[in-house]
Amino acid sequence: MTRSKEQNRGTPAASQSRHYHELAKARIAGGVNSNVRLSSAPVCFASGKGSRLTDVDGNVYIDYALGMGPTILGHAPPAVTAEVSRTLALGQLFAGQHTLELELANQFCACVRSAELVRFGLSGSEMVQAAIRVARAFTGRPEVIKFEGHYHGWFDNILINMSPPVAAEGNPIPRPRHLQSGGQSAHASDDFTVLPWNDAGAIDQYVGANASRVAAIITEPIMFNTGGILPKPGYLEHLRRVTKEHGIVLIFDEVITGFRVALGGAQELYDITPDLSVFAKALGAGFPVAALAGRRDIMEMFASGGVNHSGTYNANLVSLSAALASVRELSANDQAAYKRINCVGKALMEGIAAAGRRRGVDLQVSGLPSAFHTCFATRPIHDYATYSSANQKKLGLFLSALLESGVRPTSRGTWFVSATHTDEDVALTLDAVEQGLQRIL
Ligand SMILES: Cc1ncc(COP(=O)(O)O)c(C=O)c1O
């Protein structure tokens, strides 16, 4: 692979991508099919292989967006595409069962410590809804606690306080509810309460007074959607203790962390067993598959408790075979994929932070080697307020400079690492970071 910097010819304004974007806008709302992409540079990609993407102008990028996290084995991973191709000839969808379902369920439950029973679906958003529904049915309580800055999908009830204004003086608990979309029902989130994350006192204060109403607490175990913020030591344990004490269902949203930060997700990394957890993204290596898993007595409610979880395309053969191959690859050779990911990610995190220090820039790098976040802020990022203090304009200029050098983190400054990123990728990336920082000084 030649040096991506030399191949690029001035992204993202390159002519074919621009042309495509103009045509697409005339036929597809905004020219994109997910609103998250509205904030990305309008690059039209032709193909991806391993750690690299090629756009329609022939520019090559070292990709750290990885489809917003899923393609942990790189683009078009041979073991996964071969398995999917093999099952294509068997049919796609039977409105009935297939042996691959049980095979994947067994493999999944062997990886995920909290998984006694599992259901498969297609997206994180919908499985979060299933988790909330079954938690309410199980407890007979209405209320769900979510945290400021956490994202759990785009559905009306839970698309709140992902990026709210920073809490006013006095840090009210709970936070005022902040809707995040035009057309969103204000009432859908009536039973949701928003608290600051990583704040054991806020949990004690709110749950202490309202426990009998609270069905569930849902949390990203690592706050990857806002600043790559790690849980404070003891915080997840505190959530586990309080929820157990009050009969509240603890839901880990492992859509990003699952099969990424460890084979068994953040629950393995932090040695915590939630009651329910939601998986998607890295589970399917780029194919649409998601899972809700957890305690047998709660998950049984889908079988005998009258709780509905449905979906025409659930457990279709493409999704099942992709997930099976993906989990197999991630487990292979004593989990060599994670060793590679962590080694590359560590070199990137350290190299990027060192470049910032060398240039005297207020560049902050937070998270874990498998997924981390970069932003420009005078203080380390440890909560929603510090994240919100980051200089978005500077980040935008830095990301544009990186893209022009052929390096592509997400448009929010998150970097996902795959098992196919090479030492050469790291060296080229750190070169691009140096140049990018020089450009914004
Ligand atoms: C933590 C988390 N939960 C849920 C979702 C929603 O998943 P999906 O986009 O598959 O619906 C996302 C998506 O980025 C996420 O990051």
DSSP characters for 199-258? -HHHHHHHHHHHGGGEEEEEE-SSBTTTT-BPPPTTHHHHHHHHHHHHTPEEEEEETTTB
Task: Output the CA 66–ligand 1 centroid distance in Å.
Answer: 14
Residue 2 inside a domain? The answer is no
69 CA → ligand 1 middle, Å: 10
Confidence label for 171 from pLDDT (cuts 50, 70 and 90): confident
**pLDDT given for residue 14 in this prediction:** 67
Place of tokens 């990609």: 45
Asked if the structure places residue 3 within a domain, the reply is no
Per-residue pLDDT of 354-375, as tens digits, reads 999 999 999 999 999 999 999 9
Final residue in a domain of this structure, among 329, 353, 371 = 329
Using an 8 Å Cβ cutoff, are 161 and 177 in contact?
yes
Q: Which residues are catalytic?
A: 151, 253, 281
Indicate which atom in ligand 1 lies nearest the CA of residue 288: 10
C-beta 148 within 6 A of ligand 1? no
**Cα(403)–Cα(66) distance, rounded to whole angstroms?**
14
Evaluate: CB of 123 within 6 angstroms of ligand 1.
Answer: yes
Does 1 reside within a domain? Answer: no
Give pTM, 2 decimals: 0.96
CA–CA separation, 295 vs 293, rounded Å?
7
Residue 415 has pLDDT above 90, yes or no: yes
377 in the same domain as 321 = no
Q: Is the pLDDT of residue 5 over 90?
A: no
- Give the domain CATH number at 252: 3.40.640.10
**Residue 321 has what pLDDT?**
98
Q: What is the mean pLDDT of residues 271-292?
A: 98
Task: Write out the residue range of the structural domain in which residue 57 sits.
Answer: 14-76+335-440
Q: How far is the CA of 68 from the centre of ligand 1 (A)?
A: 9
Q: Is the CB of 420 under 6 A from ligand 1?
A: no
Show which of 290, 310, 329 is a domain's final residue.
Answer: 329
**Rounded mean pLDDT of 273-300?**
98
Q: Please report whether residue 5 resides in a domain.
A: no
**Could you tell me if the CB of 410 is within 6 A of ligand 1?**
no
Residues 241 and 110 in one domain: yes
